[in-house]
Amino acid sequence: MANLVDEARDLQEEIVAHRRYIHQHAELSMDLPMTTAYVTEQLKKMGYEPQSICQSGIVATAGRKRPGKVILLRADMDALPITEDTEEPFKSTNGAMHACGHDLHTAMLLGAAKLLKEHEQEIEGTVKLMFQPAEETLLGAKTMVEAGVLENPTVDMTMMIHVATGMPIPAGLILTPGSGSFSATSDWFGIKIQGKGGHGAMPEMAVDPLIAASNIHLGLQSILSREMAAADSVVVTIGKYAGGQTANIIPDCAEMEGTIRTFDNAHRDFVKKRMNEIVEGIATAYRCTAEVTFGNGCPSVLVPKEGSVDFAQIMEGLFGASSLVSMEDIMPGGKLMGSEDFAFITEKVPGIMSVLTAGDAREGYVYPQHHPKAIFTEDVLYRGAAAYAGFALEWLQKQS
């Protein structure tokens, strides 16, 4: 299997070209016409019959020559609404930017698609390639699951890779996940506080929603400090806090928006329940009314024990033990507080989430993902392609 890494290295230039095209044509959420046209054309050139199963969702299969299980490899293709501020010669100039590295994922999976075609006779079962839209808006994986990506043929195992930059870690390492929750659950919320506007000089005639908002902001923090165990990892962040127009007017209403992160659906439900109670109680105490609304969120990515052991063994066989890193090496506390909509897949089918390091902060890759100056090293692209293809081939062989 070490040969597969050499074969992938031979495709490096091609994978870089894929990455640069996709990077330069960054597109958002569910609307990826240029990206999907490119991916479809490349897959057809390799001999695949790609299917569009929903808006901007592409599936192609390799293998099916021999009986066996079905493994799904997933790449996301969407960018972020950020104006790129890098010096890359292939930078995007359309107001959207691949600042999370999904362009690398798509290019790596195209590289893997080529390797799998070349090894198609050896595939002991079926490999399904999933190119999804809208990871950043948490809509893509869910939409593709609803469109049947896990059926016909029914998927037994899944795997994805996310690149990482901006940390003081050498590039080209592969994270071997432990079992259990890999990423946090994610929920968005909005709070509307209704008071009664009035003259700033006569507060007794008004009901000030900003007083209620201030106390609600502080009150919500007590859920974490007083109601959750210290070892539980929960975040409640208010990222937007708005109300009022000018100095001498008491506003009519105030608004807050924020996000909740947990690693457990029970915590997720508990935080939401307590938020409702605290917001309503504090608003009432200050003579206001308030409403909390929750937006579409996603669960945790769950990695099964057996799959994580298989993944580590296969990656060690491909790249050697010195190329592997653990979660503790990459994330403070060994947990990813970010979320991944791949969780909608691991809710149904066992799956592996891995990380490929793609930019060492000590070597100039100082900006984190989602930053307008974030850059990634392309040197690692062939490794991602080999990891995708190698895991699929070997996992299927282990099952047969």
Contact stretch for Zn ion (CB under 5 A) within 100-108, 199-207, 255-263, 386-394: 100-108
Nearest approach, Cβ of 275 to Zn ion (angstroms)? 25
Contact stretch for Zn ion (CB under 5 A) within 97-105, 222-230, 249-257, 280-288: 97-105
For residue 362, the tally of other CB atoms under 10 A from its CB is: 10
Question: 62, 100, 116, 157: which one contacts Zn ion (CB under 5 A)?
Answer: 100
Contact stretch for Zn ion (CB under 5 A) within 33-41, 42-50, 96-104, 185-193: 96-104
The Cα–Cα gap between 95 and 28 comes to 10
Residues 6+ apart with CB under 8 A from 198: 205, 206, 249, 250
For residue 153, the tally of other CB atoms under 10 A from its CB is: 15
Of residues 137 and 397, the one with the C-beta less far from Zn ion: 137
Whether residue 46 contacts residue 146, with contact meaning beta carbons closer than 8 Å, is answered with: no
Helix (H, G, I), strand (E, B) or coil at 319: helix
Contact stretch for Zn ion (CB under 5 A) within 93-101, 196-204, 262-270, 303-311: 93-101
Of residues 110 and 396, the one with the C-beta less far from Zn ion: 110
Nearest approach, Cβ of 86 to Zn ion (angstroms)? 16
Nearest approach, Cβ of 137 to Zn ion (angstroms)? 10
Q: Does 355 bind Zn ion (CB under 5 A)?
A: no
Of residues 19 and 117, the one with the C-beta less far from Zn ion: 19
The backbone torsions φ and ψ at residue 188, rounded to the nearest 5 degrees and listed phi first, read -100, 150
Give the CA dihedral 15, 359, 390, 22, nearest 10 degrees.
Answer: -30
The backbone torsions φ and ψ at residue 355, rounded to the nearest 5 degrees and listed phi first, read -125, 140
Contacts of range 85-92, beta carbons closer than 8 Å, 24 or more positions apart:
85/372, 85/373, 86/372, 86/373, 86/374, 86/375, 88/23, 88/375, 90/20, 90/23, 90/24, 91/23, 91/24, 92/23, 92/24, 92/25, 92/26
Of residues 100 and 223, the one with the C-beta less far from Zn ion: 100
Of residues 100 and 283, the one with the C-beta less far from Zn ion: 100
Contact stretch for Zn ion (CB under 5 A) within 46-54, 95-103, 272-280, 305-313: 95-103
Residue with the CB atom nearest Zn ion in the bound state: 100
Of residues 55 and 132, the one with the C-beta less far from Zn ion: 132
Nearest approach, Cβ of 163 to Zn ion (angstroms)? 8
DSSP string, 113-138: HHHHHHTGGG-SEEEEEEEES-TTTT
Nearest approach, Cβ of 386 to Zn ion (angstroms)? 21
Nearest approach, Cβ of 370 to Zn ion (angstroms)? 6
What is the binding site for Zn ion (CB under 5 A)? 100
